[in-house]
Chains A and B, each alone.
Chain A
Amino acid sequence: MKRHRYGMNLDEGIPLQSPEDFELLYLDLFPQVVKRLDAWLSKGDGPLLLGGQIGSGKTTLIQYALRTAARQPDVVLHFDQDSLNMDQGDFLAILLTGLIRTALQHPIDLDFCALPAELAGLSATDWQGLLDALATTVVSMAAFTQMRALRQNIAGHHEYIVSVSTELGQRIADCLGRPLWIFASGLDKFYPGSAAFLSMAEAIAILRRHKTLFEVNAAHLFATSSSPLHGMESLLIPAAAESDITELLCRRMGVYGEPIRQTLGLLAQWSGGNPRQAIRLLAHFEAVRHKPHRNLAEQIALAIRETTGDYFAAAPRPSAELIEHLAKSGKINPAWFSLPGDKETARSALYGNWFFLNAFGADGYWAITVNPLIRSAFSDALPTDAPEVRLLRDYAQEYGISAQGLGPSRWDEAKQTEKSGEQLLWEILASGVEHPIHTHLTETLDILGAALLSKDRADRTIIAFKNPDILEPARAYLLAKANSYEYQRCEHIRIVGNKSRHCVSELLAFLQQETDIYSVEFDGCWPVEQLDLLDKLRDGFLEKEMLWWIPFAALKTYLPHWIQLRQLFEVFVLEDELLGSLSTQDIEADLAFFEALAETQDSAEAGVVANLRKVLDYLRQTAEAKVGHG
């Protein structure tokens, strides 16, 4: 990009790349992070997650560190330069391409497999030909079609490709006589709950065997134990100091910066410490300065409005309660980022820059700042009633009861303070509305259910499950909760995929019913034509709140056919969500509880207990198997 040496350099926050870029515009906003990254680059031998929120300066910081690094990466992978609608075949193809390219630069024996012949019909030793086909630079329909076919082939034989890639990586490392150094960029573009992120799990599993620098979003740093990114060393780029942002903007303005340093300071306040947001504010401010008859305050207000429009036009909105809490407390519990189903929408709020992480406190909480651009959007929309009061009102309305006097008193006589929402809710439950079986598992299922089945969520979720034996009990519990706590209707259907059945017609007929939530279990083997047809009908699902239950292994084969559809859905793996929230001790405690309960309960709840015990047994076995594999 052409730069002005002395004047203005306003772009949309494109990462700095050239020596001129760094000479003119770079500011060391995060010296501690750079120091730690330098240390890892020179001495580290395992993987590292470098995470930051969108626009925090991750790519620039990495490029800066790499410029002075003693050794450049052996393999560079860009996962975000194809498209963002990728499947397993795409991710593995990018990885495989990078490894082959590096392998061909060293004297490595590649005769361990005949992949060029198996994948592309070339001679068994024509690895260069395979590389040319995978990473074609020819702009033609034929080349593109061949590349797509190769990727589909890779997806269709993904387990084999994983083993080849693993072997390739190992052989390169052996040849080098040191850890293979890989830079995996662009993972930050894939939201943790997206179908694309699920599809990259195998590629990540291979990469983490090496000295890989993963460029991720801050949200990825709070991965649960079921995430492929869990357990790696990590570095977070926090929000920058306001004074540093002011200096950054001054640099961007060149000679024109000093006379308006004070104004730049005002813009820096609205940036929340996010460099890209600051540059966008500045670019919009400069644009509106050309408009006549506007004073400085109006110019800044217009700049804020334009930048807000850019940022949040397509971003999913977090809950007002979350933002209210964050604005008041100025901190967030990191455990919220891994709540099942992103119950508090904390993770999506972090990913979408609705707030910025500042620093980790001694109290175990993260100090945060609500994004200044959105504060006003929420301050008017916050409900005047606390959530528990609204819940009571809704319950009363549903059952035709007067809301006056309903529920327990809000005043705790014993403690002489107002009761919290959780206290009130528990008292309502205890007073006879329902007798909950309170265990860790039910609590986790409740949270998951509330996240998935809330009337306020106008979206669609795929719940993948690995073991069909726990599907029924977990779903039965969740759907039962949907019709009791959340005051909404939920209908369920199981559709068995079969060549001779019109599964899509069955689904469409089901979606004609009057209900709030459509729960669909995909069973059997759905034919490819029906999967493709579902993808084409995507627009018809936009207004529906849907839960699709799909076997995990089947989902991986379905996703490549749902190029449009998979962008609509958030994906959860049931066992991972449950295991991510339950420790082995929790599971053992719940099992002991149920065993005691079985002696005393002979009501209809016994069936629920039996179901939950099945879930727990499975989870315990899975947890033990994980521990056994280390």
Chain B
Amino acid sequence: MDKSIVRAYLWQEVVRLAFHPTGKRDIAAWIHLYQKSLRDFWQMSHYPELPKVTPQQEIKGAFDYEQLGCCADYTVVSRDKFSASILHSASAQGLLWSHHVDPGYFYFPIQDFLTAYGGLAKAISAFGDDDLAAVLNGLLFHPAAHQHIVSPIDKHHIRIGGGISNAFAYLFHLRYQLCPIENLRKAEQSRLLHLFKPAIQSNMTISAQDLMKVPHA
């Protein structure tokens, strides 16, 4: 099977197993754990505010990252309907941009094609570590389409993915991208590789607790 097709199936599996909480309670719990993990992952002194649920059943969260000169707030309605605004005050003009995903508009239906192709089982049995690493790179660590944000910390590269349509994958990739600690980023890459591989092979959902753990570096 062609490697790119294997990786396409892997991509979908990663999203399905780790970034697909269903139901309002699961979504709220996922985001709650995400917010709490930021302090230890970024090795900060304070926890960010915990997320809130609006009367319209949207989950709103925010964090300040003054050390990088940026802060963000986001609203998650569902897996594929959310918005995230990032204020970057380190730049002279204090730029603000928002990342919106609205399923009301057409988006390339990759899953439909993969389902029709019927190659999932073959892809799962054929993938190697390099395939999984490439998928995690493309989804989280180094999205192919991304914008750079300047960090005040030396050698800290922030690549905000422009094409991530899954709310939870987007938030999770922000956690990685905004972390300035190179050793920790490397440890996180290794950790996720070891976390996803058995989960994909045995078709087991990855819990939010396991996903949000902070690696030792």
Interface residues of A (CB under 8 A from B): 4-8, 10, 254-256, 258-260, 283, 286-287, 289-290
**A280 shortest CB reach to chain B, Å:** 13
**A414 shortest CB reach to chain B, Å:** 64
| Residues of B46-67 contacting chain A, CB below 8 A | 46, 64, 66-67
Is B183 in contact with A6, judged by CB distance below 8 angstroms?
yes
Is A287 in contact with B217, judged by CB distance below 8 angstroms?
no
Q: Which 10 A-B pairs give the minimum distances between C-beta atoms?
A: A7-B43, A4-B43, A259-B152, A256-B67, A6-B181, A10-B45, A289-B66, A8-B45, A255-B180, A286-B45
Is A255 in contact with B46, judged by CB distance below 8 angstroms?
no
Interface residues of B (CB under 8 A from A): 40, 42-46, 64, 66-67, 152-154, 156, 180-181, 183-184, 217
Is B154 in contact with A290, judged by CB distance below 8 angstroms?
no
Is A8 in contact with B66, judged by CB distance below 8 angstroms?
no
Which of A6, A258, A286, A289 meets B43, CB within 8 Å?
A6
17 additional A-B pairs beyond A6-B43, A8-B44, beta carbons within 8 Å, are A4-B40, A5-B183, A5-B217, A6-B184, A7-B42, A7-B44, A8-B43, A254-B43, A255-B180, A255-B181, A256-B67, A258-B153, A259-B67, A259-B153, A286-B45, A287-B45, A290-B46
Which of A256, A260, A286, A289 has the most B CB atoms < 10 Å from its CB?
Answer: A256
Is A255 in contact with B153, judged by CB distance below 8 angstroms?
yes
Cα(A539)–Cα(B183), bound, Å: 58
Cα(A254)–Cα(B153), bound, Å: 11
Contact (A5, B43) CB under 8 Å given A255-B181, A258-B153: yes
Question: Could you list 10 examples of A-B contacts with CB < 8 Å?
Answer: A4-B40, A6-B43, A6-B183, A8-B45, A255-B156, A255-B181, A256-B180, A283-B45, A287-B45, A290-B46
Which of A255, A258, A286, A290 has the most B CB atoms < 10 Å from its CB?
Answer: A255
**Given the complex, which residues of B lie within 8 Å of A258, measured CB to CB?**
153-154
**Given the complex, which residues of A lie within 8 Å of B45, measured CB to CB?**
8, 10, 283, 286-287
Main secondary structure of the interface of B (DSSP, over half): loop
Cα(A22)–Cα(B180), bound, Å: 23
Is B217 in contact with A6, judged by CB distance below 8 angstroms?
yes
Cα(A289)–Cα(B152), bound, Å: 16
**A252 shortest CB reach to chain B, Å:** 9
Nearest A residue to B67 by beta-carbon distance?
A256
**Given the complex, which residues of A lie within 8 Å of B44, measured CB to CB?**
7-8
Which of B66, B156, B181 meets A7, CB within 8 Å?
B181
**A248 shortest CB reach to chain B, Å:** 16
Is B46 in contact with A286, judged by CB distance below 8 angstroms?
yes
**Given the complex, which residues of A lie within 8 Å of B217, measured CB to CB?**
5-6
**A12 shortest CB reach to chain B, Å:** 12
**A294 shortest CB reach to chain B, Å:** 10
Is A290 in contact with B66, judged by CB distance below 8 angstroms?
yes
Cα(A258)–Cα(B151), bound, Å: 12
Nearest B residue to A11 by beta-carbon distance?
B45
Cα(A73)–Cα(B61), bound, Å: 53
**Given the complex, which residues of A lie within 8 Å of B46, measured CB to CB?**
286-287, 290
**Given the complex, which residues of B lie within 8 Å of A289, measured CB to CB?**
64, 66
**A258 shortest CB reach to chain B, Å:** 7
Cα(A254)–Cα(B67), bound, Å: 11
**B157 shortest CB reach to chain A, Å:** 14
**Given the complex, which residues of A lie within 8 Å of B152, measured CB to CB?**
259
**B217 shortest CB reach to chain A, Å:** 6
**A520 shortest CB reach to chain B, Å:** 52
**Given the complex, which residues of B lie within 8 Å of A286, measured CB to CB?**
45-46
**Given the complex, which residues of B lie within 8 Å of A254, measured CB to CB?**
43, 181
Nearest A residue to B49 by beta-carbon distance?
A290
Cα(A283)–Cα(B217), bound, Å: 24
Is A290 in contact with B153, judged by CB distance below 8 angstroms?
no
**Given the complex, which residues of B lie within 8 Å of A287, measured CB to CB?**
45-46
**B126 shortest CB reach to chain A, Å:** 38
Which of B44, B67, B180 has the most A CB atoms < 10 Å from its CB?
Answer: B67
Cα(A7)–Cα(B178), bound, Å: 13
Contact (A256, B153) CB under 8 Å given A6-B43, A286-B45: yes
Cα(A273)–Cα(B189), bound, Å: 42
**B1 shortest CB reach to chain A, Å:** 41
**A281 shortest CB reach to chain B, Å:** 13
**A249 shortest CB reach to chain B, Å:** 13
Cα(A286)–Cα(B45), bound, Å: 8
Is A290 in contact with B64, judged by CB distance below 8 angstroms?
yes
Nearest B residue to A282 by beta-carbon distance?
B45
**A208 shortest CB reach to chain B, Å:** 43
**Given the complex, which residues of B lie within 8 Å of A6, measured CB to CB?**
43, 181, 183-184, 217
**Given the complex, which residues of B lie within 8 Å of A4, measured CB to CB?**
40, 43
Cα(A290)–Cα(B47), bound, Å: 11
**A73 shortest CB reach to chain B, Å:** 34
Which of A254, A258, A289, A290 has the most B CB atoms < 10 Å from its CB?
Answer: A290
Cα(A39)–Cα(B85), bound, Å: 60
**B198 shortest CB reach to chain A, Å:** 27
**A62 shortest CB reach to chain B, Å:** 27
Cα(A254)–Cα(B44), bound, Å: 9
**A130 shortest CB reach to chain B, Å:** 45
**Given the complex, which residues of B lie within 8 Å of A7, measured CB to CB?**
42-44, 181
**Given the complex, which residues of B lie within 8 Å of A256, measured CB to CB?**
67, 153, 180
**A629 shortest CB reach to chain B, Å:** 56
**A206 shortest CB reach to chain B, Å:** 44
Cα(A287)–Cα(B44), bound, Å: 11
**Given the complex, which residues of A lie within 8 Å of B156, measured CB to CB?**
255
**A253 shortest CB reach to chain B, Å:** 8
Cα(A4)–Cα(B181), bound, Å: 11
**Given the complex, which residues of B lie within 8 Å of A260, measured CB to CB?**
67
Nearest B residue to A286 by beta-carbon distance?
B45
**Given the complex, which residues of A lie within 8 Å of B183, measured CB to CB?**
5-6
**A303 shortest CB reach to chain B, Å:** 13
Cα(A255)–Cα(B68), bound, Å: 11
Which of A259, A260, A287 has the most B CB atoms < 10 Å from its CB?
Answer: A259
Nearest B residue to A5 by beta-carbon distance?
B217
**A261 shortest CB reach to chain B, Å:** 11
Cα(A287)–Cα(B184), bound, Å: 24
Nearest A residue to B41 by beta-carbon distance?
A7
Cα(A289)–Cα(B70), bound, Å: 12
Cα(A290)–Cα(B62), bound, Å: 12
Nearest B residue to A290 by beta-carbon distance?
B64
**B74 shortest CB reach to chain A, Å:** 17
**B144 shortest CB reach to chain A, Å:** 27
**Given the complex, which residues of B lie within 8 Å of A10, measured CB to CB?**
45
**B47 shortest CB reach to chain A, Å:** 10
**Given the complex, which residues of A lie within 8 Å of B67, measured CB to CB?**
256, 259-260
**B155 shortest CB reach to chain A, Å:** 10
Cα(A260)–Cα(B68), bound, Å: 11
